Structure 1
Amino acid sequence: MRIYVTGCAGILGYEILCRMHAEGHEVTGISRSALPEGAPALPHVQVSDALHPGWLAPGDEGATIVHCAGLSDARRRFDSIAALNREVTEPQTDFVEALLARGWRGHLVYLSTAAVYGDTEDLPIAETREPQPKGYYALHKLSVENALLFLAAQHGFRLTLLRLGNPYGTAMPGRERGVMRLLLDALATGAEFTVYGSGETSRDYLHMDDFTRAVSQVVTRDLPEQITRLNLGAGEGTTLNGLIARMEAATGRSLNLLSKPSDLEVKSSVLDITRVRQLLGWSPQVSLEEGLARMVSDYGL
């Protein structure tokens, strides 16, 4: 079975490509940018536009495509919803329609986000919750989901939507980012780390090893339905204050903390992972303590 991973120069696509290659699958990464310096040799095709499916080889009309290419900056703002659609959403739907025009009818695995659910007091969040996106990134992901649902129903290809929590722990050279990297930088330099608001809202952190193992199982198993939505997370929440305490314990250092009030504090987000456990027999294996210890070791603290 041929597998393509689009956007493999980004963190998630790179990690998936590494996993699938290490497991011996017939996989090719597709990206506009080169893989980072220091990355291992991987089956990769660099193209001018990953959303132009000229890279789909003849005879691969039944291939699985793990689609990571697209908007990755969750903080990017747009002038309007029309601008969002024009600049990033329509190119995504055009891509899939172009695949279909080439005769492709395989399995599309789309990396979405738990941010589509928005704020809720009802935790953990199941896939059945009505999405209420609050930002442009989440709105974009939900819009693409809906377009893919329409196209899958019209054309009969298999579709799996993965709503991902907060992944961490990449092995991609020089690309770790997010709150954990910011904490490590502050611990290493002694710089101030600012906690906005109470620090008591929770996030669902999933180690990259567990994330890529889940994607591998989605790709290689026959799911019972043509269209599947799955939450991917640890299924438990950790507050920022709790994360700070764990990071200080892992490094043996203390942070120089600064607290500031915030009127924009986002509510907690913890995913219900019952469905992915049932369908795949998958569950997270890397505890937060172990994942942080690995990050601290890789960082050199």
Structure 2
Amino acid sequence: MAIMVTGGAGYIGSHTVAELLARGEEVVVVDNLQQGHRQAVLGGKLYEGDLRDQVFLDKVFQENKIEAVIHFAANSLVGESMKLPGKYYHNNVYGTLCLLEKMNEYGVGKIVFSSTAATYGEPENVPIQETDRTLPTNAYGETKLAMEKMMKWFDTAHGIKYVSLRYFNAAGAHESGKIGEDHNPETHLIPLILQVPLGQRSHITVFGNDYATSDGTCVRDYIHVSDLADAHVLAVEKLRRGEDSGIYNLGSGNGFSVNEVIEVARQVTGHPIPAVMEQRRAGDPAVLIASSERARAELGWQPKRDKLENIIASAWAWHQANPHGYAKA
């Protein structure tokens, strides 16, 4: 029996595929390669296609005995979602509907969903708890919340059990050095910082230094991508045990300010990395940290790579070896 990984050629998806393969699992990767990279898929069977294509999905389900699905496939840029909400509803929500309907048709009753802590919106508690209100402040978070709610009703109606994992900032690269983070456009802080010592930008921009934090810059939760991959595999195991559906936050338990991340990157790379201060961006909360106590207790999740120095060092090693991402010079 195989595990289908949608979006398995993407950043977190490819690391989860690598973890599944390391555990001897049969893996089927489904990706339209809109954002993913064929080179990031280290094994298994890769099907290039879109979840909204019914004929394509029939082919995948008919050619493989699928036991469970890990669902990463989604557009995920907050700014773009505010300009093009229709794109996000069509790809994220409708794509998930197509997937769930095919799962029901072919009798696949387990799905692990890569969600986001953006479902909470402005936090009412720090760290954020799973029981906190969900009030997204952008279309991206709203579509992810809609996807979660859809899974709830497919569970109620059809018994498709789900685990939804909510988290903020994935970072780092695989210990093998074979896969890492390559987005276009790049919006994540750590790879943007590393573009400075790579000679691809002159400085890193810091948006605001007047927040109510220790150094005035925003504080965020960073998780090594391989620790996130572990959590998704543990969620599959939970469903294999016949346990009920659930929602879990994933977090390192530690927040780091933008200035702290830049300083650690200076130490890791040995580069000065100039920082230029600009005005705050609209909608940036001061502190975003998620509590992972429930995931630790119920999934048995224990992050092993949670030191910021290790996260950045792994990212730096990959970017040095792949300064233009998966594109070959």
Q: What is the TM-score normalised by the length of structure 2?
A: 0.82
Q: Does 1:175 align with 2:175?
A: no
Contact kept? 2:11, 2:181, Cα under 8 Å: no
Per-residue CA distance 1:266-288 (angstroms, 9 max, x = gap): 11110100001101222111111
Q: Which residue of 2 aligns with 1:232?
A: 250
Contact kept? 1:192, 1:258, Cα under 8 Å: yes
Change (3 A) 1:223 1:37: closer
What's the offset of the Cα at 1:293? 1.7
Contact kept? 2:219, 2:255, Cα under 8 Å: yes
- The code of the aligned residue for 1:232 comes to L
Where does structure 2 lack aligned partners over 5 or more consecutive residues?
A: 210-215, 322-329
What's the offset of the Cα at 1:208? 1.1
What's the offset of the Cα at 1:75? 2.7
What's the offset of the Cα at 1:229? 0.4
Give structure 1 regions of 4+ aligned residues with deviation exceeding 6 angstroms. Answer: none
- The code of the aligned residue for 2:264 comes to R
Q: Does 1:192 align with 2:196?
A: no
The whole-number CA distance in structure 2 between the counterparts of 1:262 and 1:255 is 20
Please state whether the residue corresponding to 1:145 is helix, strand or coil: helix
Contact kept? 1:204, 1:233, Cα under 8 Å: yes
Contact kept? 2:51, 2:96, Cα under 8 Å: no
Change (3 A) 1:67 1:187: same
> Is 220-229 or 243-252 further displaced after alignment?
220-229
Contact kept? 1:7, 1:50, Cα under 8 Å: no
Q: Which residue of 2 aligns with 1:289?
A: 309
Q: Which residue of 2 aligns with 1:266?
A: 284
The whole-number CA distance in structure 1 between the counterparts of 2:180 and 2:122 is 33
Per-residue CA distance 1:162-211 (angstroms, 9 max, x = gap): 11221111343661652111101123326022111115221110001111
What's the offset of the Cα at 1:78? 5.0
**RMSD between aligned residues:** 2.5
Please state whether the residue corresponding to 2:317 is helix, strand or coil: helix
Contact kept? 1:206, 1:234, Cα under 8 Å: yes
Q: Which residue of 2 aligns with 1:56?
A: 61
What's the offset of the Cα at 1:84? 4.5
Where does structure 1 lack aligned partners over 5 or more consecutive residues?
A: none
What's the offset of the Cα at 1:109? 0.6
Q: How many residues matched? A: 299
Q: Percent identity?
A: 25
The whole-number CA distance in structure 2 between the counterparts of 1:204 and 1:231 is 11
- The code of the aligned residue for 2:267 comes to A
Find the partner of 2:270 among 249, 252, 256.
252
- The code of the aligned residue for 1:137 comes to Y
> Is 10-19 or 165-174 further displaced after alignment?
165-174
Change (3 A) 1:86 1:280: closer
